[in-house]
Structure 1
Amino acid sequence: MEHPHGPYSGTVTTLDNNSEQPGIGPFGVVRDGADQETVTVLIAAFEGWNDAGDAATDTLKLIREQLNAKDVFEVASDDYYDYQYSRPVIRRPLTGEQKLHWPTTRLSKASVPGTNLDVVLLHGWEPSYRWRAFTAELLEQAAALDVDFVIMLGSLLADVPHTRPIPVTLTSDTEELREELDIDAPQYEGPTGIVGVLSHMAALAGFPTLSMWAAVPHYVAQSPSPKAQLALARRLEDLLGMALPLEPVVEDAEAWERGVDELASEDPEVADYVRQLEEAKDTVDLPEATGDAIAREFERYLRRRDDRG
């Protein structure tokens, strides 16, 4: 499959570790880089099968709200959705006026203040049919919006304890990104959702593509899952060199963990199971050096301090 507007001619921006330019990251995003060439990153998340605990779509909604992203495109819902499966929703705001919301997929766009980064946010429902036409239409819009990179967000249920940091796994079909970020190619084989399909088709079309998955504890699968949302948001901060006001999400994540602690304490079998997961997680993490994690946290602190002036 070719790029919708011809073969993709973009190149992956690499990080020069000897660069004197402050704040440069693997995607070419520069802090205080308003005079630099704009880097446009598409960040996508879909409700449904690839969105355990709504962590992926909640992360996207957070970015949209904080950056005040404006809608730039909407797919024709009737072409892709079975309304008996993805039903429209009636809402009544405080005004009392009834509003009908149809399942759809939208693209919105915003600039990140203080950087040379533009983000295109792709938020939607997994389509019911015509997936190839659906992905082709979205990639055509990505090309028209001069997207340089694609980041796919997802969340899945896993055997992880709620008391430990939520694991976030990065994979890429793009060799340059794998080398730059020291990550692996995806190894999964089996049924996939629209996140996997769009990621695959974007890579074939020539877009440098990265997939980011958060692991949600399977025994607390219901939404919301603010701790997984926080893990995804922080990883995006690290990759893109931007600062998001995450204090409300931090508070929600702490309250969520306390709530799960209380529920687990009331059931000895669940409490014992959580302890087993903790031991397994700690055994795996024990040999891992903590220097990188400390460095990332310090970089986040500096970004937020700069944004506060």
Structure 2
Amino acid sequence: MLNPSELYRFETDTDPQSLRASVMVVALGGFIDAGQTQRLLTEHLLATAESSVVASFDTDQLIDYRGRRPGMVFDTNRWVSYDDPCLALHRMVDGDGTPYFLLAGPEPDYQWERVVEAVRQLVVLLGVDLVVSAHGIPMAVPHTRPIGLTAHATDPRLIPEQVNPFGRVQVPGSLPSLLELRLGESGHDALGFAVHVPHYLAQSEFADGAVTALNAITAATGLNLPIDDLVAAAGLNRAEIAQEVAGSDEVAQVVAALERQYDTFIEGLQKPSLLATDVSELPSADEIGAEFEQFLREQGEQGGDSNRSS
């Protein structure tokens, strides 16, 4: 492995010992972020807290530009801007003046193990005791019920007992997941939260998911993180979703089916045995998803017919 410390550089002359903070929030995207949960959370933190860039990574070594081409702006007869990918470590300050770090940017395409070791070096050098992350995953749940999440950690003591809907599964890897694994193997504490986003909102902004993620991070770290602006945005977003659902009988039926499935599951948890709940007549998540996809196709076809007739 090439020297991990050569992947990043400090953007300040301040002694790292003077920059120390106990918490690092990691927001490196990944192969999935339903409801744009992590993006909304990261943008909110950067917009509402005092911050400065402590260190930056050499993204030119890490990004597959042809795999996800950065945006550029062409104006009349010349190029005027380039959306330069930036992976940086920000030093943030919470509402009580307590510092913490935010590692944010695109998930590297290359050199995962070297990046992980570089982050581990920063964790040690900057006195970080806990690394935490959050993102959204699509689930067959309705937006009208409490938002759930699945917590995972390097040590069970870091998270409360919970009903895990997954059991043991194999999934595509991501750098944040590998980072959590490697930190645990080297004796560091790390945990993450997978927020359950309604699958029919997976490609949209779902601000309630970001609120749930922020509350989970606050509870786990004890940081006083601003939330009012995000809560306000979630309220507007919730009203927009309700309006769209009310305007379509097909969508309303899908949401109602998910509500019945959710309520039956919760009822079963409150009974002595899950066998006491009969879910045989409820549609499966795949059936509900197929029904919703069919509705979207029909909407697209109707829109095309309307355009042709006009």
The yes-or-no answer on 1:132 pairing with 2:110 is no
Segments of structure 1 that go 5 or more residues without pairing to the other structure are: 6-37, 290-309
1:160 aligned counterpart, secondary structure: coil
2:137 aligned counterpart, secondary structure: strand
Equivalent of 1:90, from 72, 91, 98? 72
Matches within 5 A, 1:36-75: 40-75=22-57
Give yes or no for contact 1:88–1:101 (8 Å, CA) kept in 2. yes
Distance 2:268 2:232 in 1: 30
Equivalent of 1:121, from 90, 99, 102? 102
Q: 1:237 Cα shift? A: 2.2
Task: Determine what percentage of the aligned residue pairs are the same residue.
Answer: 24
Give 1:73's aligned amino acid. Answer: A
Give yes or no for contact 1:156–1:213 (8 Å, CA) kept in 2. yes
- Partner residue in 2 for 1:174: 155
Q: Hey, which of these two has a bigger chunk of helix by percent?
A: 2
Give RMSD over aligned pairs. Answer: 2.8
Segments of structure 2 that go 5 or more residues without pairing to the other structure are: 6-19, 271-310
- Partner residue in 2 for 1:249: 230
Change (3 A) 1:268 1:127: same
Matches within 5 A, 1:147-162: 147-162=128-143
Give 1:182's aligned amino acid. Answer: E
Give 1:82's aligned amino acid. Answer: D
Change (3 A) 1:190 1:242: closer
Give yes or no for contact 1:172–1:184 (8 Å, CA) kept in 2. no
1:69 aligned counterpart, secondary structure: strand
Give 1:263's aligned amino acid. Answer: E
2:92 aligned counterpart, secondary structure: strand
Q: 1:112 Cα shift? A: 2.7
**Alignment deviations for residues 39-68 of structure 1 (CA, whole Å, 9 cap, x no partner):** 611111123423222211321232233221
Equivalent of 2:127, from 146, 153, 162? 146
Q: 1:107 Cα shift? A: 0.8
Distance 1:267 1:114 in 2: 46
Aligned residues: 247
2:173 aligned counterpart, secondary structure: coil
Equivalent of 1:281, from 240, 254, 262? 262
**Alignment deviations for residues 114-139 of structure 1 (CA, whole Å, 9 cap, x no partner):** 36x43110112121122111211222
Q: Which of structures 1 and 2 has the bigger CA Rg?
A: 2
Distance 1:142 1:151 in 2: 12
Give yes or no for contact 2:94–2:226 (8 Å, CA) kept in 1. no
Q: Give the TM-score normalised by structure 1.
A: 0.71
Give 2:199's aligned amino acid. Answer: H
- Partner residue in 1 for 2:86: 104
- Partner residue in 2 for 1:295: none
1:50 aligned counterpart, secondary structure: coil
Q: 1:184 Cα shift? A: 8.2
Give 2:161's aligned amino acid. Answer: D
Distance 1:119 1:77 in 2: 23
Give yes or no for contact 1:89–1:101 (8 Å, CA) kept in 2. yes
Distance 1:55 1:139 in 2: 25
Distance 1:274 1:48 in 2: 28
Give yes or no for contact 2:49–2:93 (8 Å, CA) kept in 1. yes
Matches within 5 A, 1:154-303: 154-178=135-159, 181-182=160-161, 187-286=168-267
Change (3 A) 1:175 1:253: closer
Q: 1:99 Cα shift? A: 3.7
Q: 1:79 Cα shift? A: 0.9
Distance 1:279 1:44 in 2: 36
Give yes or no for contact 1:41–1:119 (8 Å, CA) kept in 2. yes
Distance 1:184 1:199 in 2: 21
Distance 1:183 1:204 in 2: 23
